[in-house]
Amino acid sequence: MSFDPVLLAVIQNGLRQVASEMDLVHEKTSFSPVISEGLDRANGIYHKDTGEVIAQGETGLPSFIGVMQFSTQHIIRLRKDLEDGDVILVNDPYLGGTHLMDVRMLAPFHYAGKLWCYLSNTGHWSDTGGMVPGGFTSTATEIQQEGLRIPPVKLVRRGEIDADILAMVLGNIRVPEERLGDLRAQLGALKVGARRLTELLDRYGADVVEAAIEELKARSERLMRAHIATIPDGVFEGTSYCDSDGVVFEKLAIKLRMEVRGDDISFAFTGSSPPCKGPMNCPADLATSAIYVAMKHVFPDVPINAGCFTPIRVTPPRGTFLDAQYPRPCAGAAAEVCQRVMEAVFIAVGQAMPERVFAAPFGTSGNFSLGGYDPVEDRRYIMYMFSGGGYGGWPEGDGLTNGCSTLSIAKTQPIEILEQHFPVIYEEYALREGSAGPGEHRGGFGLNYRVKLLRGEARASFVMDHGVTGPPGLLGGAPGGMLAIEVGQHGTVSLPPHVSKGEGYVLEPGDWVQVRTPGGGGYGEPAARDPALIARDIRRGYITPEEAEADYGRRIAAE
């Protein structure tokens, strides 16, 4: 079928708009700030037979592109009994998931009496039970310790919520009234998606839209193949490291082998570390999705649909910690291991074509959870926060300061909102001077924040990374500054034994947690940096004259 380009563009944008409106409803009706303010969610449309992604909302987390596709495929395989009006609830990491806190819903969409596609979304719930409030335990050795694991179950049957399933879920998590609000927000987003998609099909016809979807998929594949063809043929390798698994203080290696042949590209993880004891095991579907997102960073103009990923082949990482199998814990997979995989991709692509990539970004979501009881509000709460950091320098300039993590476009929740919702005060929230990796184009700066408990008692836990090694530079650039955490309790300051991971910190009024996030790696030799730019950084207080001399090998005074 030959398509008028205007009509094709209208249908493409119409499908994307359906998913984007689902995103907006999901955001505006959620109860927890991590979704309503942080935008830690995604919505999409998936093929009725293959489960492949057709469209995703423009503000949804990129890391959910692949996993929601894989999740849909698992549900199609496991649930042959889905009917119009049903909604599946699932958070199982081993079935196209991430960690237990990312809760997915899927609804079959029928048009003219026939199954036409699936609508799906994912939202980060601030808690799903487990050993620590918020789910980010750093010492779990099996999945049951991390929280409630939900297989694909029918939360809604023919339009009616199953009261027993709902009671079981809410009875096993903290702050159930907030989770109920988030759950209904996801259901509401699915309903809006169904209504808007019906309007789109009514307007253009189901046959025309189906043909457009196939054409859009083919065009995305052709564009991605054209980009891959610009990469020199050959084998390129990238290695990145996680600080530890939270239980055994040893680095975990991600060894990535990238092979390019014409317009095909393949990835393998041969030689990566074996399965680990702690919660840094990563489901294979998520590791594959991380590669997809990394390639989308390199070639951002390729429209998101299944065709974008067709030329990218990934060998299953059997026998490594990147192929989590039951009952391996996975709490750190989505926000930490996923970014180490992306870092390895950037390193490999940087060897092949450094003009297309940046040096390593800060590479950690900085997962920080605080759960406790507020005596003034007479309620229990869970505060979950993720934070930004520096991106690496790139061929055209310095790296971005305090950017969002590479796996998402979720933004840090405003500290004013967190202070309004929870009994805390942020005593410091500032750019982290001196954290940028030196280079001809230096990295961006990380973040420095300090949060103090005002009342009641709370338990703090964190799963972060890049506290043992800094984000590496490219073409001679130096690594960015490493993550650092301090905990103040009763006037005594302590450091986590695993540097970037810890739990079990009981805070009382006046106690605090300080986090310094990593800066980005430098791009190019530091000696090649323009002296005027060094002087500017000194003048702005980004670095001291002494740091400038140590980093760039010359004494420069601020202008």
Taking only the tens place, the pLDDT of each residue in 334-378 is: 999 999 999 999 999 999 999 999 999 999 999 999 999 999 999
Sheet holding 379-385, edge to edge: 379-385, 367-374, 457-463, 501-507
Strand ranges inside 393-469, DSSP E: 424-432, 446-453, 457-463
Cβ-proximal residues to 263 (8 Å cutoff; 6+ apart), any chain: 225, 226, 228, 229, 311
In a domain, 159, yes or no: yes
Residue 116 near residue 206 (C-beta atoms within 8 A): yes
Q: Which of 199, 221, 243 is the endpoint of a domain?
A: 221
User: Which of helix, strand or coil describes residue 321?
Assistant: coil
pTM of the model: 0.96
In a domain, 271, yes or no: no
Number of residues in the chain: 559
In a domain, 533, yes or no: no
Number of domains making up the chain: 2
- Phi first, then psi: what are they for 550, rounded to 5°? -70, -40
Residue 389 near residue 518 (C-beta atoms within 8 A): yes
In a domain, 323, yes or no: no
Cβ-proximal residues to 170 (8 Å cutoff; 6+ apart), any chain: 176, 179, 180
Sheet holding 512-516, edge to edge: 424-432, 446-453, 512-516, 484-489, 492-494
Where b means 16+ CB within 10 Å and e means fewer, 263-292 reads: bebebbbeebbebbbbbbbbbbbbbbbbbb
pLDDT at 312: 98
SS (H, E, C) 527-546: HHCCHHHHHHHHHCCCCCHH
In a domain, 112, yes or no: yes
User: Which of helix, strand or coil describes residue 5?
Assistant: helix
In a domain, 64, yes or no: yes
In a domain, 547, yes or no: no
- Statement: residue 558 has pLDDT above 60: no
Taking only the tens place, the pLDDT of each residue in 424-480 is: 999 999 999 999 999 999 999 999 999 999 999 999 999 999 999 999 999 999 999
pLDDT at 553: 87
In a domain, 297, yes or no: no
Q: What is d(CA 233, CA 236) in angstroms, rounded to the nearest whole number?
A: 9
Sheet holding 160-161, edge to edge: 53-56, 41-47, 114-124, 102-111, 87-90, 153-157, 160-161
Binning pLDDT at 50, 70 and 90, where does residue 1 land? low
Residue 318 near residue 480 (C-beta atoms within 8 A): no
Residues spanned by the domain of 217: 5-221
